[in-house]
Amino acid sequence: MTMNNDDVTRRSIDTIRALAMDSVQKANSGHPGTAMALAPLAYTLFTRFLRANPADPEWPDRDRFVLSSGHAVILQYSLLHLTGYDLQLDDLRAFRQWGSRTPGHPERHHTPGVEVTTGPLGQGLGNAVGMVLAERYLAERYNRPGGYAPVDHHVYAICSDGDLMEGLSQEAAGIAGQLGLGKLVLCYDDNRITIDGTTEISFNGEDHLKRFEALGWHTLRVDDSEDVEELTAAIAAGRDETERPTFIKVRSHIAYPAPHAVDTAKSHGAALGEDEVRATKEVMGFDPDEHFHVDPEVYTHMDLHARGAEAQAAWRETFDAWSAEHPDLRAEWDRAWSGELEDGWREALPVFEAGEKIASRAAGNKVMQAFAPYSPTMLGGAADLVESTRTVFEGAGEYSRVHAGRNVPFGIREHGMGAIVNGAGAHGGIVKPYGSTFFIFSDYMRASIRLSALSQLPVVWVFTHDSVGLGEDGPTHQPVEHFAALRAMPNIWVIRPGDANETVVAWRVALERKDGPVLLALSRQNILTLDRTEVAAADGLERGAYTLWDSGGDDGSPDLILIATGAEVPMTLEAGRSIAADGTRTRVVSMPCWELFEAQTDEYRESVLPREVAARLSVEPGVTLGWAKWVGDRGDSLGVDHFGASAPGTRVLEEFGFTPENIAARAAALLQRAT
C-alpha cells in the first residue's frame, strides 16, 4: 500500500531510528539513544533544507552539515545512506569495525558526506563557525551584483549538552556572535542526559537561550522534537536570519520511543539490548525480526539526488555566467579551491642579508607580507597577540560584522581559534588558514591541533616565543616540553627555523603542504642571519635536517656532530668552529624539522648523520625527550629538563648553558668519553 506524505515522513524517521538501533546492537558498541531522539530533526534538516548533491559531495556551494555531537554519528551515517550518498547498508552493518567506512565518530576523508572530524565535544561547533567565517569571506570576495553570486550557502550543525559544557563552545559562539555570522544555524539537542545521569547533577544552572542571546545570537526554541512542522518553521527562521547566527533549543527525549530506555543515561552510550530493540520496533510498527530493513518508499522519499542535482545545476549556470563576466576572478577561484598560490609567489619571497640580527617572528612577518598578494584567500589571526606574534596581513583589513577582512580578531580564545581555523580549512577555498599565539598556549588548543593532523587539514599554526629565551615572563610562559609533545603527534610537521632565511623556507614548506598541518615555532629574541656563502643554503630545511657546515677532513667523515634547532643554530655553529680550530673534524647540522628528516631516504639521513660517528651533541632549549633517536646511546643532549626562570632572556639562556662556550665544553667532554 502506498504511503501518504505523513505516513512516509513518520516511516522515514522511524527507519533512521531502526538503523541506528540495529547498527549499534550489531557492533555492541555506540550511542543509539541520541540518534533516536534526533531522528526527526536530522530528517527535517536533510530532506527540507540541505542543499547538497550525493553524486558530488564536494560541490563548492553545497550547504555544510556538522554533527558536533559526534558520538551520535550513526545518525549521520543512516541519513547519508538513506539520502543517496555512497554509503551502503553493509557499511552500517560494519559500524565501528576494522576497516569499515563507518568509524565510531565522524572522520573527514573517511566517509562520503562527512565534512569534519568531530569527537572531542565542542570541536564541531567551532568547526561550523569556521566554515561560516570562510563562506562570508569568499562571498564578499567573489560575489558581484547582477546575480553573479557563486558563494551562497548555509552551515547547519547539531550540538549536545556536552558540547555546550565544554568551554570551547563559549569561545567559538562568542566569536560567531561578535562577527554576526548569519549563515549558521545551530540546533541544540536538549535531551538532559549525560553519561553520569541527568543534567540536573551538572548542567542545570544555565539558561541556554539567554546565554546565546547575550553572545549576540538569534535564539529560538522547539518544545517537541517530534513535531516536524515546528522544527521546519524554526530552521527556516534561522536560515532567513542574515545578521546573526541562530541557536535553536530543541527539547528531545533520548532513546525515544524505546519503552524502557527513553530518558535513561544507559541509552546514551550502550546498545539497547535485543529485547528493547524488538520492543521498540513493535512500537514503531516494524517487524522485530527484520534487521537493517528499509522500505523502498523511504528510499524514494529521502533520496536527495534529484533535488541536489537541480540545485547544483542552477548554481553551475550562475557560476558559468559569473566566470564569463569575471575571468580573472574565475582563475583566482580555481587556484584557491585547488589550494594553490598564484604564480610567482616563490620568487617574491625575501632574502635576508647575512649579519642581520632579526627574530624569526619578525622575519616571518616580512615573509607574510611578501606572499600576501599571491594568496588572496588566506586568512587568519592571533589570540589577541598580533603585536607579539607579528602575524598579520598589513593593509588587508580586519574581519568584522561589516567587512570580511583577512585578519581575524580571535581575541583571547585560543581553544575556539583552533577549532575555527580547522573549520575554515575544511570548508575549501580558503588557502592555508592560520592561527597564532605564544607557543606555551598551544596547550590550550592541543585538541584542535591534533584534529588538524588527524583530518589532514592544510592549516598553519604559528607559535612564537618558542623557548626560555623569551625571558622575563618566566616559567609560566616559557615552553620546555612542547617540542617533544607536539613532535609526538602523528602527521604534523613541527618546524623551528634557525635564522631568517630558514624562516623563509619554513613558510614556503608550510604553504606547499596539502595533506596536513605545519607548525612554525618562532623566536622572540633576535637571531644572527647566517652567511650562506660560508654555510649551506637554507633550502636544506626542506629535507628536515642538513649539514650546515663541516670543517672537512681527509676522508670527509667528522669526529663530532653538533645538531641544533632554531635560535640556537648560530651559537652552535660558533661552537663548532671553535672546536674545529683545535683540529677536531666537526660537523654542524641544522635540524629544524624531525618529521621531514624522517621522511628522507636512508642514504640521505646517513649522509647527514653517519652512524659510525658516535660523538653527537644536540642543542635545543627544551626537554631532551626524543633526542636519543638522533644522538644515539653514546651521544649527549643539551636541553632544559626542568621549568624555566624569570629574567632577561639572554641571562636565562646563559644560566641554562646555551652559550657557544658551554656547547664547546659539553662537546669536548663527549669526545673525551668517546675515546
Measure the CA–CA gap between 264 and 28, rounded to whole angstroms. Answer: 18
User: Which cell is 223 given?
Assistant: 518544545
**Selected catalytic residue, list 107, 115, 171, 414:** 414
Helix (H) or strand (E) holding 502: helix 500-512
Give the amino acid at 10. R
Give the amino acid at 203. F
End-to-end CA distance of the chain: 91
What is the torsion angle, in degrees rounded to the nearest 10, for the CA atoms of residue 157, residue 406, residue 374 and residue 117?
Answer: -20
Helix (H) or strand (E) holding 322: helix 305-325
Residues written for the chain: 675
Measure the CA–CA gap between 267 and 236, rounded to whole angstroms. Answer: 31
Query: Are the beta carbons of 410 and 118 closer than 8 angstroms?
Result: no
Q: DSSP class of residue 429?
A: S
Measure the CA–CA gap between 595 and 420, rounded to whole angstroms. Answer: 26
CB neighbour list of residue 71: distance below 8 Å, 6 or more residues apart: 31, 34, 104, 105, 119, 160, 269
Measure the CA–CA gap between 55 and 630, rounded to whole angstroms. Answer: 49
140 is catalytic: no
Give the amino acid at 424. A
CB neighbour list of residue 484: distance below 8 Å, 6 or more residues apart: 622, 623, 625, 626
Query: Are the beta carbons of 209 and 249 closer than 8 angstroms?
Result: yes
Instruction: Give the DSSP per-residue string, 147-191.
Output: TB-S----EEEEE-HHHHHSHHHHHHHHHHHHHT-TTEEEEEEE-
Measure the CA–CA gap between 436 and 390, rounded to whole angstroms. Answer: 9
* Cell 603527534 found at: 489
Q: DSSP class of residue 465?
A: S
Residue 451's region, left for phi above 0, alpha for psi from -120 to 50, else beta, is alpha
* Cell 547582477 found at: 146
526-528 and 357-359 beta bridge pairing:
antiparallel
Mapped onto helix, strand or coil, the DSSP state of residue 100 is coil
Query: Are the beta carbons of 77 and 39 closer than 8 angstroms?
Result: no
Query: Are the beta carbons of 364 and 519 closer than 8 angstroms?
Result: no
Nearest to 53 by CA among 301, 299, 309, 303: 309
User: Is the link from the previous residue into 150 a cis peptide, with omega within 30 of 0?
Assistant: no
Query: Are the beta carbons of 272 and 281 closer than 8 angstroms?
Result: no
Helix (H) or strand (E) holding 20: helix 5-27
Mapped onto helix, strand or coil, the DSSP state of residue 223 is coil
Q: Active-site residues: which are they?
A: 414
